Amino acid sequence: MAYGTALAVLADPTRRKVFERLRGGPRPVNLLAQGLPVSRPAVSQHLKVLKEAGLVEERSEGVRRIYSLRREGLMELREWLDSFWGEALDAFKLEAERSYRSKKGSK
Amino acid sequence: MAYGTALAVLADPTRRKVFERLRGGPRPVNLLAQGLPVSRPAVSQHLKVLKEAGLVEERSEGVRRIYSLRREGLMELREWLDSFWGEALDAFKLEAERSYRSKKGSK
DNA sequence: CATATACGTTAGCTATGACTTACCGTTAGT
DNA sequence: ACTAACGGTAAGTCATAGCTAACGTATATG
């Protein structure tokens, strides 16, 4: 039931913001912390939680710690979400794919 | 950004349990509360939160209040999840659909 | 070797939220 | 009309989570 962990971890707005920033690619802590309404140590703490939840991974690069997304950490959550759809799931998947393609095309 | 609300609401284990019980179909409050490690009023409070988040809807049936799922309340959350996949999204959708079908077939 | 930079960690404060108990309104049955 | 069942609401308690400030550690730089 790792989806429970993922939900709990992503429930906090600040932590979620940090997580979302990683969509743009791997980043060091100070960059992730920039512009956020909290201190840098707070971001470090959030990153620790994200890491323990398997949502993020870390590598050292000199004095920096580069954090990046671990999408596998979202898998169970996604499957859990799927479990709420019954026969309508197929239809939804098609629709989701359609809207995804149209977004992709409009760029 | 209703996905933030959905995440926060579903982060609580007890509340999530109530929500999951509604997968089995619409149910009155006392049924939803049965066997849970918390009191019935607690469940009422959770249902209120779920309702305000648009994850659940309520209808009266005599003295009972029947609660049922609102899957639309999960839509934004699902789309948000999708936003973390890039080019790999198509491949994942195919895989997800495949595993879904195999589960369906094995019943 | 001294200093600066980039982060993690700890301790302590505070706000929030989940829970219980007690209470109240409403519908159903006799 | 009385009573019981169902469930929403209010008040108060308590634990937890997120934050800051201060400190510690490792790498780069002069």
Cα separations in angstroms, B4 against A17, A88, B73, B93: 10, 24, 11, 23
* Single pTM value for the model: 0.85
pLDDT at A103 over 80: no
Residues of B with Cβ-Cβ distance to A96 under 8 angstroms: 78-79, 82, 93
Q: Is the CB of A68 under 7 A from strand C?
A: no
Nucleotide in closest CA–C1' contact with B15: C18
Interface mutation vs chain B, best among A7, A15, A49, A70, most B CBs within 10 Å = A7
Nearest alpha-carbon partner for A14 in A33, A28, A31: A33
Residues of A with Cβ-Cβ distance to B100 under 8 angstroms: 82, 89-90
Residue type, A73: G
pLDDT for A1-51, tens place per residue?
699 999 999 999 999 999 999 999 999 999 999 999 999 999 999 999 999
